[in-house]
């Protein structure tokens, strides 16, 4: 039986939301979507914050809280007001605030009131640099968080690298936007040679003009078009024109860029190359940094072709004279030199981890 209506408006469409919920916070998400789904509050605005002040309520004045839930890593609050609804979801220091309303102007006003003074973004100390970290969250989708990373100056860490690498890094550390010719930065070489340490120092050297973001799941990035578009393209707000550059770091991508990568990784390699100098990267100030343990000879020729790489540096171990000078003694240094990781282990008084030799015989090499 339907109630009498005093006007000629058609009834609101029936919206059915199937909630696959295992926590009260999931139910709050579904309740928040109701007015927007039914068209009662057809306008929505949202804002994400990486650092939220501890005392911030994330609510506008005169908000009426109708639901609140907390689990291990998330707190969700559903609030309402005249003509609007608000969902505030908070994780440790970060938060998302979304408002739906009967008008776009009301949604904007309520959102501004909710987040006013809530963000806390202290200036980094001189020896620190702000780095972003992207990952694909099952609950939030593509998500970026930031951390203050300790990074020495290039002058402080230059001695960690063998002479040819240090010379190449000298030039890379001084790069400015006017010097960029290629969009791909490739660091390859054995494990423990300091590739990641060099990238941290690079982030500090470039911080005036380039934001460095590390992708924690590069294999998912290059196999999920939506994830890739969110990171590489984002909202077309004009910030890419004349704005800061971004360097996306993809670490340990051996399977992606070795010679047989097109067969092994499907379209992932093509998407990487398209991001560096294809249509996907056009109009965007985006660089891509890749680290790999592969030898240069095993890399796909499309990756290392001339004009594609801003820099292609093989980061190898220090020679024996360099290693002895770094350590201050000869004991423990092999006749072919040592990697940076081995030298730090020797400095701490620990020898490099080794595998004992196997005995010969019929059972040699078999697994338990």
pLDDT of residue 140: 75
Same domain, 53 and 151: no
Q: Which of 269, 275, 278, 247 is nearest to 172 (CA)?
A: 247
pLDDT of residue 233: 66
Same domain, 34 and 144: no
pLDDT of residue 93: 79
Q: How many CA atoms lie within 13 A of 7 on its CB side?
A: 3
Same domain, 198 and 269: yes
Indicate the number of domains in the chain.
Answer: 2
Same domain, 83 and 135: no
Cβ atoms of residues 212 and 132 within 8 Å? yes
Q: Give the C-alpha separation, 287 to 292, whole Å.
A: 17
Q: Give the C-alpha separation, 245 to 233, whole Å.
A: 13
pTM: predicted TM-score of the whole model, two decimal places: 0.62
pLDDT of residue 362: 45
Residue 99, domain CATH = 3.30.310.10
Length of the chain: 368
Residue 277, domain CATH = 3.40.50.300
80 burial (CB, 10 Å; 0-12 / 13-18 / 19+) is: middle
Same domain, 186 and 298: yes
Q: Which of 212, 192, 193 is nearest to 202 (CA)?
A: 212
- Asked if the structure places residue 34 within a domain, the reply is yes
Q: Which of 357, 355, 327 is nearest to 342 (CA)?
A: 327
Range of the domain at 32: 24-115
- Asked if the structure places residue 253 within a domain, the reply is yes
Query: Phi and psi (nearest 5°) for 96?
Result: -120, 135
What residue ranges of the chain have pLDDT lower than 70? 1-22, 121-126, 233-242, 254-266, 277-283, 295-306, 350-368
- Asked if the structure places residue 268 within a domain, the reply is yes
Token code pair at residue 77: 């609050």
- Asked if the structure places residue 347 within a domain, the reply is no
pLDDT of residue 14: 55
């Amino acid at each position: 039986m339907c109630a009498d209506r005093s006007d000629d408006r058609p009834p609101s469409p029936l919206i059915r939301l199937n909630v696959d919920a295992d926590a009260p916070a999931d139910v709050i998400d579904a309740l928040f979507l109701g007015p927007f789904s039914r068209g009662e509050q057809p306008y929505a605005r949202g804002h994400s914050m990486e650092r939220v002040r501890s005392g911030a309520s994330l609510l506008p004045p005169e908000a009426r809280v109708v639901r609140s839930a907390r689990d291990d890593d998330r707190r969700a609050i559903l609030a309402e007001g005249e003509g609007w609804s608000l969902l505030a979801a908070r994780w440790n220091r970060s938060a998302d605030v979304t408002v739906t309303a009967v008008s776009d102007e009301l949604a904007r006003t309520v959102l501004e009131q909710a987040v006013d003074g809530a963000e806390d973004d202290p200036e980094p100390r001189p020896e620190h640099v702000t780095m972003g970290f992207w990952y694909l969250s099952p609950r939030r989708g593509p998500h970026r968080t930031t951390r203050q990373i300790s990074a020495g100056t290039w002058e402080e860490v230059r001695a960690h690298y063998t002479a040819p690498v240090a010379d190449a890094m000298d030039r890379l550390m001084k790069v400015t936007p006017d010097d960029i010719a290629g969009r791909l930065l490739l660091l390859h070489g054995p494990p423990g040679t300091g590739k990641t340490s060099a990238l941290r120092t690079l982030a500090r050297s470039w911080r005036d003009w380039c934001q460095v973001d590390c992708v924690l799941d590069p294999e998912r990035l290059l196999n999920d078009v939506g994830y890739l578009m969110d990171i590489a393209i984002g909202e077309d707000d004009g910030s890419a024109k004349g704005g800061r550059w971004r360097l996306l770091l993809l670490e340990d991508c051996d399977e992606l860029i070795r010679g047989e990568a097109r067969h092994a990784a499907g379209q992932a390699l093509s998407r990487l190359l398209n991001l560096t100098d294809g249509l996907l990267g056009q109009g965007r100030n985006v660089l891509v940094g890749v680290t790999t343990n592969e030898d240069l000879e095993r890399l796909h020729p499309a990756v290392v072709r001339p004009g594609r790489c801003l820099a292609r540096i093989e980061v190898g171990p220090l020679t024996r004279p360099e290693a002895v000078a770094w350590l201050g003694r000869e004991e423990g240094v092999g006749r072919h030199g040592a990697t940076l990781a081995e030298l730090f282990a020797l400095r701490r008084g620990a020898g490099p981890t080794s595998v004992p030799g196997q005995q010969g015989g019929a059972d040699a090499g078999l697994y338990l």
